[in-house]
Amino acid sequence: MTPGGRAMALIRAGIAAADPGAAVARGMAEVLADPPGPGGRWLVIAVGKAARAMAQAALQALPGAEALVVTNAGNDAALAGARVMRAGHPQPDEAGAAAAEAVIARLGSAGPQDRVLALISGGGSAMLPAPADGMTLADKQAVNRLLLGSGADIAQVNLIRQGLSRLKGGGWLRLSRAPVAALILSDVPGDDLRVIASGPTVAPAGTRAEAAELARRLGIWEQMPKAARAVLRRPEDRRALPPARNILVGSNALSVAAMVAAGADPAPLPLAGDVQDCAQAIWALAAGLRPGQALAFGGETTVRLVGQGMGGRNQELALRLALLAQARPVDFDWAFAAVGSDGRDGPGEAAGGLVGPGTPAAIRAGGIDPAAALARNDSTPALAAGDALVVTGATGTNVADLAVLARA
């Protein structure tokens, strides 16, 4: 098998390990230990890129339950026993705002005798824009655009999102009179439940004042809409959150472990930080690879947007590594693949990139200067020109990003 073929086979093993149905099945025993009271019912609310598959598994275990599913395009096929609503990602949209109102209504309809089963997966934060009082959807969209281009990591992004929302940072618990149990598929390194989908069933990651200070450090405070700044200046809600059972059922670490079980070695560093810094750290490992060795990486990098091109963090990571490798070549064949586990990397249809020693030359032969493409964050057309674009379609799950560096 070629290094590229092996790299993609290992990534597919990692994605398979994040199967949402199997993840839900693992957590249902704990959920079922607290059934509805007399005359009560199960209300299933699933949100995120894996929402449909998670809801399907839950409905199999809860015949007759009522389900509301909020997910993105490509994962929104009809599901018997559920209302499936499509919502925008990564940019919140009107459909997501309507879905958020449906979630609020569903939570508000629950009584003490009922039980709410929350199924949470990555992407849920952008999909449920419920602006705080005094804000509009346009305000939320403006803040989201600033955050996505700021270089902030997912924890920082979601701290600010929580401060501007009625649903995030424990909002579901304040709206429901019924006990809430959540099965959570983590898409964030470290599996901080406050960060996954902006923590709808857990306490917030910080205060509004901390979110405002972070926005200042990121350099976006003065660009934020006036209404958003006003919300972050409000006093905190000091009421204690109702308790909830939050159960982690899948994560990036489990997927990396599956890649190791399939024959890779665990990488000594995660996918983290700025893409250029991460690319340099990964390529520094190349010279020490043994023949036939593959390193499995997991995590999530950040990109600071300086141009208006088409791309995503995995595509940019792959392209940057290919250029570094050209400048500091090794004397063996190799491949590097970086892929979003959800099958989407940025706003386009690509999942990531698969590069090797010949990628920069192939891109130039296709009429594109790869360095100039990176300068405008335009990695998608560059990789496409070099036949190095990975397109998988929606995978139905989301546990952040996976990567492999393989030597022949």
Both tokens of residue 173?
Answer: 């618990």
d(CA 222, CA 230): 12
Q: What is the pLDDT of residue 189?
A: 82
- pLDDT in the model for residue 259: 98
CATH for 9-130+165-203+241-252?
A: 3.40.50.10180
Q: Of the candidates 139, 122, 351, which has an alpha carbon nearest to the alpha carbon of residue 224?
A: 139
How would you write the pLDDT of the chain (408 residues) with one tens digit per residue?
999 999 999 999 999 999 999 999 999 999 999 999 999 999 999 999 999 999 999 999 999 898 999 999 999 999 999 999 999 998 899 999 999 999 999 999 999 999 999 999 999 999 999 999 999 999 999 999 999 889 898 889 989 999 999 999 999 999 999 999 999 999 888 899 998 999 999 999 899 999 999 999 999 999 999 999 999 999 988 888 999 999 999 999 999 999 999 999 999 999 999 999 999 999 999 999 999 999 999 999 999 888 889 999 999 999 999 999 999 999 999 999 999 999 999 889 999 999 999 999 999 999 999 999 999 999 999 999 999 999 999 999 989 999 999 999
| Intervals of CATH 3.40.1480.10 along the chain | 264-407
Residue 210: the pLDDT is 96
pLDDT (0 to 100) of residue 238: 83
Place of tokens 């200070």: 213
The pLDDT of residue 335: 98
Superfamily of domain 264-407: MOFRL domain (3.40.1480.10)
Q: In what order do the strands lie in the sheet with 82-86?
A: 82-86, 66-71, 42-47, 115-121, 180-185, 244-250
